[in-house]
Amino acid sequence: MAEPDVFAALANPTRREVLRLLREQGEQPVQRLADHFDMRRPSLSEHLRVLKDAGLVVEQPVGRQRLYSLRPEPLREVADWLTPYERFWRARLAHLRDVLDGMPDD
């Protein structure tokens, strides 16, 4: 079961956007992330701290910068928990496809 702070971290649209940017563009410094948002950098730093506490991002100092990157493992826990029935049906429909492939047409 995922920790509650993962859910709290994901409930905010800015933080979800940060995760999307990190996924699509790879690791990057806070200033490059800040360029995407209309907010003061301390506010963004607070969002990054929440994501870090939830284990969704990691920061690595490189020279004078701090690079942020996505850590997807907690998302898997959320995904397992979030839509069990959707996962159930997707798996069953894959089986249905196999059954159909093995059936005669009439």
Partner 1 sequence: MTDPTTIRVDQYLAHPPAKVWRALTDSDLIARWLMPNDFAPVVGHQFTFHTDPRPRQGFDGVVHCEVLAVDPQRLLRWAWRGGGLDTMVTWTLAAEGRGTRLLLEHSGFDPDDPVQRQTFTILDGGWRSHVWRRIEQVLDAASG
Instruction: Return residues touching partner 1 (CB under 8 A).
Output: 7, 10-11, 13, 16, 19-20, 23-24, 70, 72-73, 75-76, 78-79, 82-83, 85-86, 89-90, 92-93, 95-101, 103, 105-106
Q: Cα torsion for 36, 4, 75, 41, to the nearest 10°? A: 20
- Smaller CB separation from partner 1, 17 or 59: 17
- Smaller CB separation from partner 1, 30 or 78: 78
- Smaller CB separation from partner 1, 19 or 44: 19
Q: Cα torsion for 46, 41, 65, 8, to the nearest 10°? A: 20
